[in-house]
Amino acid sequence: MALTRRSIHFDLTRADVLASGHVQPDPSLCVQCGICSYNCPLGLDVRDYAWRGAPIFDGQCLTCGQCVARCPRGVLAFARTGMAQQVVPLRPNPKD
């Protein structure tokens, strides 16, 4: 696969989120349907975090986004943990 600027940008952004982000639920929207837990590739019980309103601070969480994307009610979102400063920011391409 050609290594396009876009794919580099995607990978670096993802790396940034992996290094510095977590998934944050909003329990006021959640109806505990369990679609998030069902689709977690690591088998984490995301729904239980959503019940407690707790960020998914689990060493196994890949922040892959499956739960975020599949939640039908927008309960889950990526949030920064404040460690993002340690990641070198991407320089915009002057040609863009």
Partner 1 sequence: MAADYVIVGSGVAGIAAAEALRARAPGASITIVTEDADGFYSRPGLAYYLSGTIPEKQLFLRSQADLRNLGLRWVQARATQIDVVGHRLVLADGRNLTYDKLLIATGARAAAPDCPGGDLDGVFTLDTLGDAKRLVRKANNSDQAVVVGGGITALELAEGLHARGVNVHYLLRGARYWSNVLDAEESHLVEDHLRSDGVELHYHARVRQALGKKGKLIAVETDSGEQISCQILAVAIGTRPHLDLARAAGIKVDRGILTDAYLRTSAPDILAAGDVAQVYDERSGIASLDTLWPTARAHGEAAAATMSGAPAPYQRTAAMNVTLIANIPTTIIGALGSGSDEDLVAIARGDSESWRGAKPAWVIVEQHEVNRVRLMLGERTISGALVMGDQTLSRPLHRLIAAEADISPIRDALLADQHAMPQLIAAFADEWERSHAHNA
Question: Which positions touch partner 1 (CB under 8 A)?
Answer: 26-35, 37-38, 47-48, 51, 72-75
For residue 6, give the DSSP letter. Answer: H
Residue identified by tokens 């690591």 is 42
In the complex, least distance from residue 40 CB atom to partner 1, rounded to whole angstroms: 12
Angle 49-22-51 (CA atoms, 0-180°, nearest 5)?
15
In the complex, least distance from residue 58 CB atom to partner 1, rounded to whole angstroms: 18
**Of 37 and 63, CB closest to partner 1:** 37
For residue 92, give the DSSP letter. Answer: P
**Of 39 and 63, CB closest to partner 1:** 39
In sequence order, what are the beta bridge partners of 79? 22
